[in-house]
Amino acid sequence: MPESVVASLRVRSRRAWPAWTLGLATGLALTAACTDLLGPRRNVTPELSALDLDLSLLSGIMHISGLPADTAFRLASGQSVSVEITVSSGDRESAGLYRTWCPPRPHGPYFNCFRFSIGMESGIDVRTLSQRVGGIGGRWEHIYSGGWLAEVTLFYPDAIRGAQRARSWPGVKFVELSWPGSCALQSGFCPPFPVWELTVPVLVDTGAAVPRDGTMQLRPGDTVAVLYRQPDGRVLEARRMVP
């Protein structure tokens, strides 16, 4: 091979590879930088105007809810508002408030991030699915009379995924997301409701207190307190006695 051709090939290969590498590196760096800068912070601390809790030993679910003072506040996906929960009998847990209503978009349609309904074929009781509901990280919120219809609460904000899984279970006739009032998808409009509301369902049982295990251990007569530290340092608190 002539020397000039060999030299030309050397120059060509030296020129080509560093440029490609540089290009790819630039692309990756830009992508990584944008992802990092634009990604939501996981824990946020908006000012809350109200904090409440609703617990039922029957369903084994305690609902904590909070209302941001700014009605324009919308929690992004992956973000949460941290609260501390203490029980007079010794348990202590933390939980992350999330949006009650998904998705956080200006015009909806909105559905409950944590709940969906299951309707059964005629003659099949929804309680036959209890183990499966537990398997997807949920519990029965309500079982309606006759046992053909029930509402499931998940302990994570992904009602669509939970409902999609439930749709293939034996005996299930239909699944449906939980709409606010008459705000069904077909209607195309929603009545006024607090889109900015935050909530988190917490799993409850009546065993011995095990702090930080993700489950509230409660007994009748216990007092449950939920605490939230406002951005200015003040503490907002909600208390309930277990009936």
Which residues of the shown chain bind other proteins in the complex (CB under 8 A)? Answer: 15-16, 18-20, 22-24, 26-27, 30-31, 34, 38, 77, 102-103, 105-109, 111, 116, 160-161, 163-164, 167, 175-177, 185-186, 188
Nearer CB in complex with other proteins: 24/69: 24
We find the least distance from the C-beta atom of residue 150 to other proteins, in angstroms, to be: 16
Tokens at 138, concatenated: 């949920």
Nearer CB in complex with other proteins: 79/217: 79
Nearer CB in complex with other proteins: 173/234: 173
Instruction: Judge residue 58's burial from the number of C-beta atoms within 10 Å of its C-beta, 0-12 exposed, 13-18 middle, 19 or more buried.
Output: exposed
CB 148 within 8 A of CB 120: yes
Biggest CA–CA distance in the chain, Å, is 95
We find the least distance from the C-beta atom of residue 188 to other proteins, in angstroms, to be: 4
Nearer CB in complex with other proteins: 175/218: 175
Nearer CB in complex with other proteins: 86/112: 112
We find the least distance from the C-beta atom of residue 169 to other proteins, in angstroms, to be: 14
We find the least distance from the C-beta atom of residue 24 to other proteins, in angstroms, to be: 8
We find the least distance from the C-beta atom of residue 164 to other proteins, in angstroms, to be: 7
Nearer CB in complex with other proteins: 56/169: 169
We find the least distance from the C-beta atom of residue 176 to other proteins, in angstroms, to be: 7
Region at 108 (left for phi over 0; alpha for psi -120 to 50; beta for the rest) = left
Nearer CB in complex with other proteins: 149/160: 160
We find the least distance from the C-beta atom of residue 157 to other proteins, in angstroms, to be: 9
Contacts of 239 (CB under 8 A, 6+ apart): 223, 224, 225, 226
CB 228 within 8 A of CB 80: no
Secondary structure, 3-state, 129-165: HHHHHHHCCEEEEEECCCCCEEEEEECCCCHHHHHHH
